[in-house]
Structure 1
Amino acid sequence: MLPDYHFHTDFSGDSSTPITAQIKRAIELGMESLCVTDHHDYDVECPIDFTLDIDRYMKTMPLLKEEYKGRIDLRIGIELGLQTHLKDYFDWLLSAFSFDFIIGSTHFVNKKDTAYPEFFEGREERDAYLQYFQTTLDNVRNLDHYDVAGHIDYVVRYGPNKSRFYSYEGYQDILDEILRTIIERGKGIECNTAGFRKGIGQPNPCIPILKRYRELGGEILTIGSDAHVPQDLGADFQRSRDLLLECGFSYYTEFKERKPEFKPL
């Protein structure tokens, strides 16, 4: 099975799953490699503490990597919550710690969690989506502290109507600018299969965005389930592999020491 490059454990504030449970599940599924990407959203306002205990995390990961050596190639990743005012902090973080892979995700807008209904209150859904996409564009334009941009249309998972009135064409100008910026900066995107489980009926980003990314020359593409429990690890990967082939991709990407490794789909 394709390796999962986006999932969470009890190092993340929104998961209670021991990391060993996720690793064992990956081995059961036949994954040859796996990249842990626990949350680190720093300086935000949220009922959940998404601040990663990085010292403990970075002490634990190499031990697990060695423990499971020969059974699975464990890569050490992180999902950074991008915010432009954190540039200096990210500079320090990535000079102090070494990762195999970094997802750069937009979860918060003006420190507010876009997964909560309050983000949408008192305005049109379209305005909320546009603000989210503008924030994403600002993040990928001004920050270099990531390898792939996570679930580009993540906000749609939590909109009042989810994807009912949402389409790539409705936001094409800003979405194309996001994609072009990512490509120009030598970064990639992910195919996040959680959209299938979150009532959208397709991954994040949606299929037209994946196609457009490929049309614009995008090459770096990871695949992740965004699993917080073992039963979701690798979920809908075969389905996603088929649609990625239809979108024009012939390979996906793994990362080691922040360097992309291209593998055939």
Structure 2
Amino acid sequence: MRSDFHLHCSYSPDSDSTMEEMIRGAIQLGLNRICLTDHQDWDYETDGKVWHFDTTPYVEDYLKYKEKYSGQIELLLGIELGLQPHLAEGYQEYVRKYPFDFIIGSSHLAHGKDPFLKSYFKGITEEEGYREYFESIVENIVAFDGYQVYGHLDYVVRYGPNQDRYYSYEAYRDVLDAILKALIDRGVGIEVNTAGFKYGLGQPNPHPDILKRYKELGGEILTIGSDAHRPEHIAYSFPQLEELLTGCGFRYYTVFRNRKPEFIKIR
């Protein structure tokens, strides 16, 4: 696994690493290609942090470093959109304006609430919080599908009171199947996000049982991303993925250029 398709730099408010530092970190690890996917979460703010940025200098920096490091690594341009149904029309216009190779659609909020904050689970059970998050994903998919993969499908589990202790695919089969079928019907893939290992889950997001079910339903588009915000987390736990993904039935993972997929054999 030598392609990391989920990386953040200081264009995202939760990263202090420059774009060049992330690129150089990937080169040092011997990666073939990376895709920068900084946060573009409209209509969201936490602790004075605004989760969106001016895309023009982002593209300019990308083009500068793409040329500078062209002999050492393939650099691709991406974005991670924080989805909410009421943003669909604006995002549709936004993605037409810039030459993105790859777009991740992600749920960082469920009905305007952030699972990262303890207040998300206040007054509700963990199961209710997880289910609301998954139901909001269905709403996002119906509203807008202008992205290549849905990011970290069970992201909410990272922040639950018990994380994945009582969590399983079977407990949410109905809504998770609705998500996977809706994505497959629209030609949209899913992401294997290895930050789940970093957060102590012992597995990526989504859970391997969700990956197996996605494959059973006919899903094939699968990108690999570390969700790194610092160079030391690039390609985090990638060595664990080969056995995991082949065990789920996958023979290929996917990279994107000009929003078109290329399938790379896992082994």
Same fold (TM over 0.5): yes
Q: Secondary structure at the match of 1:108?
A: coil
Is residue 188–residue 221 contact of structure 2 (8 Å, CA) maintained in 1?
Answer: yes
**8 A contact 1:254–1:263 mirrored in 2:** yes
CA distance in 1, matches of 2:56, 2:129: 36
Q: 1:82-128 deviations in whole A, cap 9, x for unaligned? A: 11101111122012112000000000123222211111111111111
Q: For residues 40-84 of structure 1, what are the alpha-carbon distances to aligned partners after superposition, in whole Å with 9 as ceiling and x for unaligned?
A: 100124223211221211121111111111110100000000111
Give 2:245's aligned residue.
244
Counterpart residue number, 1:3: 3
Greater mean alpha carbon deviation, residues 112-121 or residues 5-14: 112-121
Query: Which 4+ runs in 1 deviate beyond 6 A?
Result: none
Provide the rounded CA distance (Å) in 1 between the counterparts of 2:36 and 2:242: 20
Q: CA separation in 1, counterparts of 2:201 and 2:20?
A: 30
SS of 1:4's equivalent in the other structure is strand
Aligned length: 265
Structure-2 residue corresponding to 1:58: 59
Pairing 1:1-265 to 2, within 5 Å after superposition = 1-47=1-47, 48-265=49-266
Q: Is the 8 A contact 2:45 2:51 kept in 1?
A: no
Deviations 1:162-212 (A, max 9, x none): 001110000001001100000010010010000011011100000100110
Using the size of structure 2 for normalisation, the TM-score is: 0.97
Instruction: Give the structure-1-normalised TM-score.
Output: 0.98
Where does structure 1 lack aligned partners over 5 or more consecutive residues? none
1:202-242 Cα offsets, whole Å, 9 max, x none, are 00000100110011110000000011111110011010122
Q: Is residue 116–residue 159 contact of structure 2 (8 Å, CA) maintained in 1?
A: yes
Counterpart CA distance in 2 for 1:140 and 1:122 is 27
Matched residues in 2 for 1:127 and 1:45: separation? 24
Native 8 Å contact 1:44 1:112 kept in 2? no
Q: Which segment drifts farther, 107-116 or 130-139?
A: 107-116
**Gap runs ≥5 in structure 2:** none
Output the CA distance in 1 between the equivalents of 2:95 and 2:52. Answer: 15
Deviates more, 1:197-206 or 1:86-95: 86-95
Query: AA paired with 2:114?
Result: D
Cα separation, 2, equivalents of 1:217 and 1:35 = 26
Q: Secondary structure at the match of 2:162?
A: coil
Residue identity (%): 49
**Contact 1:147/1:258 (8 A) holds in 2:** yes
